[in-house]
Chain A
């Protein structure tokens, strides 16, 4: 069968199964389980109405439970166990965590993640705010915005490939195709550098990729927030004698403070989970390891489900408080 027909068939079956489930289960509830007739008609209607929401919610709850909640508990369980060669597993308590904490690469990953956590959200938000403000009133502002936003549409891996070309290094006697090396040599650098292998600096070269992607996101959200500032407050500040910098920092930024925080934390969440960029560009070599890639290394390369799951739990614990705060703040914003 042609794959397209297969796909359409799957969609058709899926949709009709959904419709069928809701229609038939509803009928079953009203006609068979609690029929709205006989001596207990009133009671039956009430009972049916009590059950109906759960009936309709069930598919969603089941899917969420299976694909989101169950993996969390399973990962937690795995993080306290160890695979026995040849099949089966045994409980090992917190051994996996102890082993992980002793691992040099884990410490490196934690340090790097902290660095990412500080640099990327700060720079993305700052650049996004700058771009939003600068493109606000000019005629070609929308074009500039589209260009800045475009990296958002590129996958992390695609972005990594692009930036790998920018950081590319060729032997000394060959023409350099990497833009960074070209600039470096043009400015009087002695010989081409292998940028991604220079410790500490290479971390920043990786971060720039994510900043490049996230700036567009920050810009779009902050641009909308800037537009939402009442024009009157800005005019009042002009009459009050504020210069453009004072208007920006004392009138505009304080009024969109909450949006800035939401943008900041949203990017923080992305940063905590950063994996693709590191995986595709350095794979954690030369002191660029991060938590998500560390987890992947242990779980799928070393086949060590214990330490892999333990590191996954650590990532989740780091993300959770920020996530909770972010959701609360976003809800407050909506009210």
Chain B
């Protein structure tokens, strides 16, 4: 059982280039934490700092209560699975998996037992004497996972482990990782990805990284239902949440917002009198929009429809330079193309952002 504490973690290159600053995060033992964020947000760097492959230039990292800043990777009780698999090409699967134990001078019998056990779990028993080049991508990734399992680390680190696999294999391996986690409830796992489906399905909690820092930490549903800022609101969920500018014109248990384009939105988020007249953005997810005859949040002409089978995406016409609004309706609605429709959403589904931050208190 090992928890991690990150206190004011910072990463600068050459003393001036700031990649990450003031990262504070508590990871409970047995959690599966997923770091997500756009490319270049420093999520992999943060993971590599936890692994000890990158120097921590500021702050403190503790694993299991022990400060790890200057402890070499091998003594941190971690194992890492790399995006490129990073198998040793000149060693067989068995040698790859037993390398760490051999280095640690473990007795031969113990090594064999650990390797055989891991091979059984990952269904690699038939491939133990093959070289990595004779394996498929999915098998290679399983060997990479097996290599970390045999060491029985307290913390598993996954650096975009599925991004080199094709779509079908990605789903299968994702489920395999979920099963693996279930079989080891007391092991902590940290998983880096840019794929939000992986994040939503695997994570016990998600850490969204943006702008050199943490944008929000929470369970997948937390992030989906209660995003704390516009960045997280738009990053989680696909297609992205629609944002529309407006002013608060009614406060209380429910908040009324009159939009700049003339529509009216009602949000279940309560506000106080002092909020009256504030400029806000309302956020509505495409899947929460419904057609209406009454008060509409907006009224627009459907530019393009994309029928995906169980849902249809409606892309609305927008003024030049503005991001177009998107709605996701259940069923097939090709006939709506070119028509002008009125859309609204239930108050509980309408988010309120002031200066980019959620108004939910």
Contact = CB atoms under 8 A, between A and B. Distances in A.
B100 A230 contact: no
Interface in B76-120: 78-80, 82-91, 99-100, 103-104
A238 B53 contact: yes
B84 A255 contact: no
A255 B51 contact: no
B90 A257 contact: yes
B81 to A, nearest CB: 9
A60 interface: no
A239 B53 contact: yes
Contacts of B79: 239
Contact of B86 (A235, A246, A250, A255): A235
A86 interface: no
Contact of B88 (A233, A238, A239, A241): A233
Interface string A213-254: 000000000000000001011011111111000100011001
Given A238-B74, A239-B74, A232 B89 contact: no
Contact of B87 (A233, A238, A250): A233
A241 B90 contact: no
Contacts of B237: none
Interface string B51-81: 1110000000000000000001111001110
Contacts of A230: 84, 86
A232 B84 contact: yes
Contacts, number: 62
Contact of A241 (B74, B86, B89): B74
B168 to A, nearest CB: 24
Contacts of B83: 232
Contacts of A238: 52-53, 72-74
Contact of A233 (B74, B86, B151): B86
A239 B51 CA distance: 8
Given A232-B84, A238-B74, A255 B103 contact: no
Given A230-B84, A232-B85, A237 B99 contact: yes
A228 to B, nearest CB: 12
A222 B86 CA distance: 21
B103 A246 contact: yes
Contacts of A251: 88
A232 B86 contact: yes
A125 B52 CA distance: 33
A217 B73 CA distance: 36
A257 B90 CA distance: 10
Majority DSSP secondary structure for residues of B touching A: loop
Interface residues of B, number: 26
Contacts of B90: 254-255, 257
Nearest to A238: B73
Contact of B73 (A232, A239, A255, A257): A239
Contacts of B51: 239
A239 B80 contact: yes
Contacts of B82: 232, 235-236
Nearest to B85: A232
The residue in A235, A237, A240, A254 that gathers the most chain B C-beta atoms within 10 A of its C-beta is A240
A242 to B, nearest CB: 5
A241 B103 contact: yes
Contact of B74 (A240, A254, A255): A240
Contact of A255 (B53, B80, B89, B151): B89
A273 B182 CA distance: 67
B100 A233 contact: no
A6 to B, nearest CB: 57
Contacts of A233: 86-89
A68 to B, nearest CB: 38
B358 to A, nearest CB: 39
Contacts of B72: 238
B88 A236 contact: yes
A323 B216 CA distance: 64
A232 B86 CA distance: 5
Contacts of A257: 90
Nearest to B96: A236
A240 to B, nearest CB: 4
A237 B83 CA distance: 15
The residue in A238, A239, A257 that gathers the most chain B C-beta atoms within 10 A of its C-beta is A239
A240 B86 contact: no
Contacts of B74: 238-242
A250 B86 CA distance: 15
Contacts of A250: 99
A242 B99 CA distance: 9
The residue in B75, B88, B99, B151 that gathers the most chain A C-beta atoms within 10 A of its C-beta is B88
Given A230-B86, A240-B100, A255-B90, 4 more contacts: A238-B52, A238-B53, A239-B74, A255-B89
Interface of B: 51-53, 72-75, 78-80, 82-91, 99-100, 103-104, 147, 151
24 contacts: A230-B84, A232-B82, A232-B84, A232-B86, A233-B88, A235-B53, A236-B82, A237-B99, A238-B52, A238-B72, A239-B53, A239-B78, A239-B80, A239-B100, A240-B99, A240-B103, A240-B147, A240-B151, A241-B73, A241-B75, A254-B88, A254-B91, A255-B89, A257-B90
Q: Which 9 A-B pairs have the closest CB atoms?
A: A232-B86, A241-B74, A240-B100, A254-B90, A236-B86, A232-B84, A239-B73, A241-B103, A232-B82
